[in-house]
Every structure is written in C-alpha cells, then in structure tokens.
Structure 1
Amino acid sequence: MAELAKNNSTIPIVEEEKVISPWKEAWNSFRKNKIALVGAFIVLFFVLIAILAPFIAPQTENEIALGNRLLPPSADYWLGTDDFGRDILSRIMYGARISLWVGFFAVLGSIVMGCALGIIAGYYGKWVDTVISRIFDIMLAFPSILLAIAIVSVLGPSLQNALIAIAIINVPNFGRLIRSKVLSVKQEEYIMAAKAIGMKDSRILFNHILPNSMAPIIVQGTLAIATAIIECAALGFLGLGAQPPEAEWGKMLADSKQYLIDAPWTMIFPGLAIMLTVLGFNLMGDGLRDALDPRMKS
C-alpha cells in the first residue's frame, strides 16, 4: 500500500485548459495587430466627431459670412473658409455625419438583401441558384459607379436616393460571398443531421448556417463601408448625391474645384477627410480579416 501511494504521488496533475470562445480569440488577435488598431482609432475619431459635431463645431455648417470668403487657415478659422465664408472645419465635422450615415446604412441594406438572396441561392440550388446567380453576374458586368449613376438618374438626385443606389450596387458582392459560404457549410454533418431529424429549413438557415457564415460578412462589410463613402463622395461630386446646402465631403470638393489654385485648402481638407476615413476602415477591415480567418492564424 505504501508503494502504491508513493507511485500515485508521482502521477502529474493535468490542469484543465480554459476554453476560449472564437469571438474572444478573434478580439485577442485583433488587438495585437497595431496597424488594425490604428485604423480602429481613426474610425472611432471620425465617429466621435460626427456624434459631437453640434457641440464641438465652431459654427453651424451653413453659417454664411461673405465678408470672410476664401480666408486661409488661421487662428479664427483653423481650416479656412469656402467661397461663401463658411467655416470648412465645421462643414467637415457635419459632413462626417452624412458620409458615415450613408456608408453604414447603405452597407447594412446591402448585407440584408445580399445575404437573403445568397442564402436562398446557396441552400436551395437548382434553378433558384441559377436565376439569382445570373442576376448577380449581370449587375457585376457594369462598373459600380456607372450603375449607381444610372439608378440615381432614374430615382432623382438626392442623398437618400444615393444611399439606395449604393446599397443596390453592393448586393452582388455580399450575395456571392454568402452563397459560397452556404455551399460549404450545408455539407457539414451537423446540417445533414438537422435535416434528418426533420428540422425546418428556416430554423437551419437562421440558427446554424447564418451564424457560421458571419465572419466573412463582417470583414467584407467593414471594407464595403470605405467603398460606400467613396461612392457617396463621387455621386456628390457629380451633383447626384447630397444637394446644396448639405455639408457632404464630395459636394464640398465639387463646389471648390474652381478655387484649386487660389484657395487650395477648400479642396485639400475635405479630400483628406475622405482619405483618412477610408484608410481607417480599410486598415480595420484587414485586421478583422486576419483575426477572423482561421487560415491566417498560426
């Protein structure tokens, strides 16, 4: 007995490993990516500016002072004034609200429509898949900005119609992405088991397939917001998006292009705002891709 007790005392005790959820593991990976954190801080900076614009902006976005038109940056006007004497800094702050609002809700609409069509096409297949996939192919055959211009031309130039157009042109990207994911997920054993026990298709789709297909949608959605901001600015620059006197960055560029030589600050600062916002979303999207894609993990 003494010898048995001695042997038992030498048996190593194996500690139970802590189970980390996939989302927590992704967050730990994301926060170790310094470049992705820089992008997240840039995005957070512009989001805070958009939220706090009414409280921190030196002036309202449409306050006209013709006596102060085209003033260069100074202590009174940090980023100068435009051709109507409006404070450019204030207009950029209020413009952040418009660009982020359009970017977020346009992509949200694209995700909802694209995921609905992509899930139906990937899960049911056959002629349903063929019809939906051909619709996606036809839409992708046109350059996205030209398709957006055509949609806004039919609906009429306005910020709301620009949002609708941007949402529509991005539907095929999300639809094809979720379709490919569904095609692989529906072959898993747990999906086949769910079908075997008679589980309804709607429950399989929303409880099993959709949650397991969200990682690429999150990554693509983050990157798509950057694209939507550029498209919103492009439509505004062409006069098909935001209408005067709305403080939208693309419209600010269009109104200032004739002053590029005499007052370059009227174009430089709105352009920098677009560039930094898009850069932030792209850096954050790349970080999310690295954190959520199992193939990128060691």
Structure 2
Amino acid sequence: MNVNEEEQIISPWKEAWRSFRKNKAALLGLGIVMFFILLAIFADLIAPYGFRETELANKHLPPSSKHWFGTDEFGRDILSRVIYGARISLRVGFLAVSGSVIVGSLLGIIAGYYGRWVDGIISRIFDILLAFPSILLAIAIVAILGPSLQNAMIAIAVINVPTFGRLLRSRVLSVKEEEYITAAKAIGMTDGRILFHHVLPNSLAPIIVQGSLSIATAIIEAAALGFLGLGAQPPTPEWGKMLADSKDFIIQAPWTVFFPGIAIMLTVLGFNLMGDGLRDALDPRMKR
C-alpha cells in the first residue's frame, strides 16, 4: 500500500475528528465522560475513604469539610461511594454494550449478507426480543438468573442485542450491493474474508454512534435494576443501589439521594452529547 492509499483510508476519520472538535456540545460530553473515566481509574487514590468504611456515630451527617457529600445511614462517606460507583457503572455500561455489539453485529451481518431463511430466523428472534419492554425483559432475565451485578450485565446485553443486530443488518443489505463486494466475490474471496475485511469495516460508523448512546442507556438500566434490588448487592457502591438504600431518608437526609442521582444524570448526559457529536461527525447526511 502506497502513501496515497493510506491517506485515502485515514482521511475520513481525520475529517470526522475535525468535525467532532468543532462541536462544542460534543466536546463537553467527551470532557464529562473522561472525567468519570478518570474517577473510575484512580478511585483508590481520589476517594478520601473506603466505600466500606462505616461510622454509625456519624450517620446522616450533612455535607461538610470532612465529608463533602455527607454520610449515609451507616456513616459511610457518600463522596467516596459515588467515586467508586463510577467504576461500577462504567464497567456495567462498557461490558454490557460490548457484549451487545459483538453478538448483535455478528447476527446482523449473517442475516443481512446471507438473507433468505437465515435472515428470516434471525429477524424473528430480534422481533421477539423487541416485543417486550426492555426493562421488563431485563427484570425477567435477572429474576431467572438471580440478582447480582454480573447477571444484570448479561440482562442488559441481551436486551440491546436487537438494536445492534437490526442496525448492522440494514447496513449490510446496502453495502453488499456495492461494486467492490461484487468484485471480491468474482475473484473467489471467501465469505468470511468479505464480511470481516470489507463489509464490517464499512459498517463501523453507525455501530460506533449507537454504541456510545447505548452506554448511557445501559447505565440507566443498571441503575434501575440496582434500585429494584436486582443488580449490585450490598455493600457494592452502585449508584442505583445507593438511591434505593436512601429513598426512605429523602426528607431527613436529601443529600444521600441527590449526589448519586446527579452522578447518573451527568454520566448519561456526557455519553448522549458525545454520541450526538459522533453521529454528526460520522454521518455524511449530517454534514453541511
């Protein structure tokens, strides 16, 4: 491959990055996401206390210089638990969406490329999964598997598989009619090589956009399962579980609900702004 060919491959991504940088809202979203990622990575260094440290004599203390976000019903420092909670929520979001992307993309590629009865079977599976409200389906899956953070991630991954599957299926139906795919078939290239060297690379843009938006959705779904007691179990500092544990003290100690709720809101906002910016940068139809 010569230099000109390399520039032709790299330039669309460089152009997308330049477009992304011009979007102030997208940069704000990226900044928020990076802030929480850094909190998650360096939680052990940043958090002033351990998330398990209890002081019953100091329960429900309001925000102060010693406990910036106050304390909960067990005297645990809420700031420390929110910081460690970033690690839990982001891990759930990234791992659950990664599983959805892998399984959904694989099924979508197969359905879109081979068509006929294969497409019919896979599409009906997607339709069945989409027929149920996503949160109810997640609750049912966790109820069968048992309440835990790992099972919550599995449930979130399953309910998001149809989203990526149908997205990639529609993309493959368009891409497989391109001339370079016909040429690849004509020279005897195998289906596997065509799918993973030509079809998939040319279908990445919508997957990247949907993935960034789905992480925000996954964090909300994990918080909802945690709030219902089906996700993370005590003393894991998951934001949704923190809200559930504090709902009975919302009047006498509102800070126990406020700060975990703000953390969820800001993280979801960051991923949504970043996802919108990626959509505008990667979708040619959005460019002016």
TM tier, smaller: over 0.9
In structure 1, runs of 5+ residues without a counterpart are 1-16
Q: Residue 85 of structure 1 corresponds to which residue in structure 2?
A: 75
**Do residues 24 (structure 1) and 24 (structure 2) align?**
no
Structure 1 residues 46 and 192: alpha-carbon distance in aligned structure 2, compared to 1, 3 A threshold: same
Identity score, percent = 76
Residue 196 of structure 1 deviates from its aligned partner by 1.1
In 1, the alpha carbon distance for the partners of 2:13 and 2:85 equals 33
Q: Residue 204 of structure 1 corresponds to which residue in structure 2?
A: 194
In 1, the alpha carbon distance for the partners of 2:46 and 2:18 equals 34
TM-score (structure 2 length as normaliser)? 0.97
Structure 1 residues 242 and 203: alpha-carbon distance in aligned structure 2, compared to 1, 3 A threshold: same
Q: Residue 272 of structure 1 corresponds to which residue in structure 2?
A: 262
SS at match of 2:42: helix
Structure 1 residues 48 and 203: alpha-carbon distance in aligned structure 2, compared to 1, 3 A threshold: same
SS at match of 2:120: helix
In 1, the alpha carbon distance for the partners of 2:41 and 2:196 equals 33
Q: Residue 97 of structure 1 corresponds to which residue in structure 2?
A: 87
Q: Residue 176 of structure 2 corresponds to which residue in structure 1?
A: 186
- Size of the aligned set, in residue pairs, is 282
Structure 1 residues 60 and 190: alpha-carbon distance in aligned structure 2, compared to 1, 3 A threshold: same
Residue 162 of structure 1 deviates from its aligned partner by 0.3
Q: Residue 226 of structure 1 corresponds to which residue in structure 2?
A: 216
Q: Which has the higher Rg, Structure 1 or Structure 2?
A: 1
In 2, the alpha carbon distance for the partners of 1:79 and 1:104 equals 27
| 1:1-298 correspondence to structure 2 within 5 Å | 21-298=11-288
In 1, the alpha carbon distance for the partners of 2:274 and 2:46 equals 26
Q: Residue 13 of structure 1 corresponds to which residue in structure 2?
A: none
Runs of at least 4 residues of structure 1 off by over 3 A? 17-20
In 2, the alpha carbon distance for the partners of 1:75 and 1:248 equals 24
Residue 231 of structure 1 deviates from its aligned partner by 0.4
Residue 20 of structure 1 deviates from its aligned partner by 6.4
Structure 1 residues 18 and 221: alpha-carbon distance in aligned structure 2, compared to 1, 3 A threshold: closer
In 2, the alpha carbon distance for the partners of 1:261 and 1:156 equals 32
In 2, the alpha carbon distance for the partners of 1:41 and 1:68 equals 35
In 2, the alpha carbon distance for the partners of 1:105 and 1:62 equals 24
- The amino acid across from 2:86 in the alignment is A
In structure 2, runs of 5+ residues without a counterpart are 1-6
Residue 18 of structure 1 deviates from its aligned partner by 9.5
In 2, the alpha carbon distance for the partners of 1:275 and 1:37 equals 17
Residue 228 of structure 1 deviates from its aligned partner by 0.2
Residue 19 of structure 1 deviates from its aligned partner by 9.0
Q: Residue 4 of structure 2 corresponds to which residue in structure 1?
A: none
Residue 297 of structure 1 deviates from its aligned partner by 1.1
Q: Residue 3 of structure 2 corresponds to which residue in structure 1?
A: none
Residue 70 of structure 1 deviates from its aligned partner by 0.2
Cα deviation, 1:3-49, whole Å, max 9, x if unaligned, reads: xxxxxxxxxxxxxx999610000000001100000000000000000
Residue 276 of structure 1 deviates from its aligned partner by 0.2
Q: CA RMSD in A?
A: 1.2
In 2, the alpha carbon distance for the partners of 1:113 and 1:20 equals 27
In 1, the alpha carbon distance for the partners of 2:82 and 2:198 equals 43
SS at match of 1:21: helix
Cα deviation, 1:166-219, whole Å, max 9, x if unaligned, reads: 000000000000000000000000101111111100000000000000000000
